[in-house]
A = this chain, B = another copy of it.
Amino acid sequence: MPKVRNTKQRQIILRVLKGTNTHPTADWLYQKVKDKIPNISLGTVYRNLGVLKEQELIQELRHAGSQSRYDGNPQPHYHFFCLDCGRVEDVILPYSEQMDQDFQSQMPEYAVFGHKTEFYGCCPGCKKRKQEEE
């Protein structure tokens, strides 16, 4: 495993990501970080997100039909995806160790490290907007 240097670019990318709860895309981060480092390149953002994920300081979220999103909170927790506006939010439910235990007892030949759960539906804003349209 190669050594990792503490570059200004990486520091700022991490700080910006930790400072938002919007679960942004690489491109959104690129735009934000450009305010601090105007000549940073998108490639650098991607490379650093890769490194930070490797170091388990952040996590990557993937969902059908959109680019990857990143979460500055590396702790396992659940997410909600709004099918209408694409917003991603944290879910206020504790991680279920029980699920992993249930998995383990049903499928004992497997080694399970954990699970990811994403809820989907309609966020409060979109729900309201839809009701008003009727």
Contact = CB atoms under 8 A, between A and B. Distances in A.
Interface stretch (A8-16, A31-39, A111-119): A111-119
Interface residues of A, number: 35
Contacts of A115: 78, 117-120
Contact of A110 (B80, B100, B113): B80
Q: How many copies make up the complex?
A: 2
A3 interface: no
Contacts of A113: 83, 120-122
A118 B76 CA distance: 13
Given A80-B112, A110-B123, A113-B121, 12 more contacts: A62-B62, A80-B110, A91-B103, A99-B119, A100-B119, A103-B119, A110-B122, A110-B127, A111-B122, A114-B120, A115-B118, A116-B117
Q: 10 nearest interchain CB pairs?
A: A109-B124, A111-B122, A112-B121, A113-B121, A115-B119, A117-B117, A111-B121, A62-B62, A60-B64, A92-B106
30 contacts: A60-B64, A62-B62, A62-B63, A80-B107, A80-B110, A80-B112, A83-B113, A91-B107, A93-B99, A93-B103, A99-B117, A109-B127, A110-B121, A110-B122, A110-B123, A110-B124, A110-B127, A111-B121, A111-B122, A111-B127, A112-B119, A112-B121, A113-B121, A113-B122, A114-B119, A115-B117, A115-B118, A115-B119, A115-B120, A117-B117
